[in-house]
Structures are given as C-alpha cells and as structure tokens.
Amino acid sequence: MGTQYYIYLAVIYLFAFLFGATVGSFLNVCIYRLPKEESLIKRNSHCMSCGTEIKHRDLIPIVSWCLLKGKCRACGAKISPRYTVVEALNALLWVFVAYKTNVLVHPVNFLLTALLFSALIVVFFMDWDTQLISTYVCIFIAVLGVLYFIFNHTDVDLPITSRIIGFFIVSVPLLLIELASKGKAMGRGDVYLMAAGGFFLGMQNILVALAIALVTGSIAGLIIKHFTKRSAFAFGPWLSLGIAVSCLYGNRIADWYMTFTGLNEM
C-alpha cells in the first residue's frame, strides 16, 4: 500500500470523526427528549438554567463546550460535560468502527454498524437516567438488522435462520422473566432491545452479548450497591454494552469460549 492510500484512509477517519461528533449531538437530543416524548426536530436547544436559546455558533459539537469552558454564554451556569462526552464517544466509536469494518472495502457495513453503535449509546444513557428504553430506538436497530441482511456483501454472511433464532433466543426468556416478575426484574424495553439486537447479530453473538451483559451488569450492580445502597438499577446499559462488544468481537469470544471449555472438540 502506498502513501496515498494512508492519506486517503486518514481523511476518511477524519470525516468519520466529524460526522460522528455531529450525530453525537443529535444523540444528546434523543437521550434528553425521547423519555419526555418531545419532538426531536422542533425547537432549538435551550440553556437548562436560564432558558436562553443557544445560538448556532455555540452548538458546534465538542468545540463549543471547550471554548465556553463548560458554561452558558448568557448566564454562566455550568453545562454538564455529559453532552460533550456523548459527542466525543460517538465520534471515537465511528472511527473505531470504520477501522474494524474496513470502511473502504465495506462502506455499507461500516454505516449500519456505526448507526447501531449510536443507537446503543442512546439506550445506554437514556436507560441509565430514566430506566426506560425507547421502543423507537429498538425498531431502529431492527431496521438496521434488516438492511444489514439485504446489503451485507462480506464473506461471513449470517444466514436468515440465525437472525430469526437470534430474534427469539434471548428475548423470549427475558419476556418470561418480565411477565413472572411483573416487570420488576426486567422491563419490556430490555425484551425489545434483545429481540432487535438478536436479529442484527444472529443467534451466537446475541448469546455472547447476554453473557457480557450478565458479567458487567453484576459487577456494576455490586459497585453501585456498595456506593449508593441502591439495589434497583437499569439492565439496559449492560445489554447495550454487550451488543456493542459482541458486534465486533462476538465470533472471537465464542471461539475462545469453545476452546477454553473444550466444546469445539466434541
């Protein structure tokens, strides 16, 4: 590969970062407005303290918050670093997904996977804040799964049977837990998320996602309980983390598990 190739790649990564940051600022709108069922496109952003409409020049992702040193231009109230964290996280993940999916060879796979990661960021923060998972976001993930099935041109195609089994294999047990516990142990949003995620990832990788969620969720639960004495907490953030990790590393984790347990010799 010549120098030109790497310059080309660097430009693509730069665009992935800039576009990812811009999408990230829309994700903030989703995280904040979806639980209140407010419109995602109407009305401009306002300062949470003084209500002043925020001007366009102060809405540049990441940059504006740094220039204003995290304060409202009108009243000087502190603006949560969360908005900038979400923008930067989405931007970095888009670059990472561009690298992992080999964007120059598989641009469609890159776009669908990057959008999946963005949807998972919304699930993570919205569920963390409100213990709600938006049904719209789950439908969006399912649509991405359908598009992936239609447009996937890589050599490791997931058969439709794996996607359909993936849709049910985790969501149905979660639904039974939800019904048995009357929604206390599990919410309907968790069920929809794992159904949509299962269609995107297929049977094997949605099981890997669940395993990751159980491990990270249990550890996080112990830590949260230790520091806040709170025993109820959202499971959705860990499910979305599991889906994200499994999307990129699911096959490798499954192979490792099979070797580790000796199951691949049976």
Q: Which residues bind Zn ion (CB under 5 A)?
A: 47, 49-50, 72, 74-75, 77
Q: Give the shortest CB-127-to-Zn ion separation in angstroms.
A: 28
Q: Give the shortest CB-182-to-Zn ion separation in angstroms.
A: 42
Query: Which of 49/135 has CB closer to Zn ion?
Result: 49
Neighbours of 89 (CB within 10 A): 19
Query: Which of 76/159 has CB closer to Zn ion?
Result: 76
Q: Give the shortest CB-129-to-Zn ion separation in angstroms.
A: 21
Query: Which of 47/120 has CB closer to Zn ion?
Result: 47
Query: Which of 30/47 has CB closer to Zn ion?
Result: 47
Query: Which of 14/75 has CB closer to Zn ion?
Result: 75
CB 150 within 8 A of CB 167: no
Query: Which of 46/184 has CB closer to Zn ion?
Result: 46
Query: Which of 75/263 has CB closer to Zn ion?
Result: 75
Q: In Å, how far from its chain's centre is CA 34?
A: 15
Residues facing 78 on adjacent strands: 71
> By C-alpha distance, which of 134, 218, 209 is closest to 171?
209
Residues facing 46 on adjacent strands: 53
Q: Give the shortest CB-126-to-Zn ion separation in angstroms.
A: 24
Note the maximum CA span of the chain: 68
Q: Give the shortest CB-163-to-Zn ion separation in angstroms.
A: 47
Q: Give the shortest CB-77-to-Zn ion separation in angstroms.
A: 5
